[in-house]
């Protein structure tokens, strides 16, 4: 299976989530999210402007999958 190129018109644009959405999806608050980013246990944000950041929806979904696997014991480190 080939990955679509960035210029491929069939490729869906990446959705970005702002902090309230990330808090809701992760069940974490701002301080825990930023602590996790510093520790490397939570996805890094993307700077949109001087005062705005967001997270890739795909990064948050992957983090959720990893957390679920760890809880079940499937992929625990």
Q: Where are the domains of the chain?
A: 16-72
Q: Residue 50: CB partners within 8 Å, gap ≥ 6?
A: none
pLDDT band for position 12 (cuts 50, 70, 90): confident
Q: What is the pTM of this model?
A: 0.77
Q: What is the pLDDT of residues 30-67, one digit of tens each?
A: 999 999 999 999 999 999 999 999 999 999 999 999 99
Q: Residue 56: CB partners within 8 Å, gap ≥ 6?
A: 14, 15, 16, 17, 43, 46
* Pairwise CA distance, residues 45 & 38, whole Å: 11
Task: Name the token pair of 32.
Answer: 């825990």
């Amino acid at each position: 299976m080939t990955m679509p190129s960035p210029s491929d018109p069939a490729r869906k644009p990446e959705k970005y989530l702002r902090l309230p959405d990330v808090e809701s999806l992760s069940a974490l608050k701002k301080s825990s999210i930023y602590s996790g980013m510093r520790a490397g246990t939570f996805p890094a944000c993307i700077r949109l402007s001087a005062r705005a950041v967001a997270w890739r929806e795909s990064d948050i979904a992957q983090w959720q999958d990893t957390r679920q696997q760890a809880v079940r014991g499937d992929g625990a480190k």
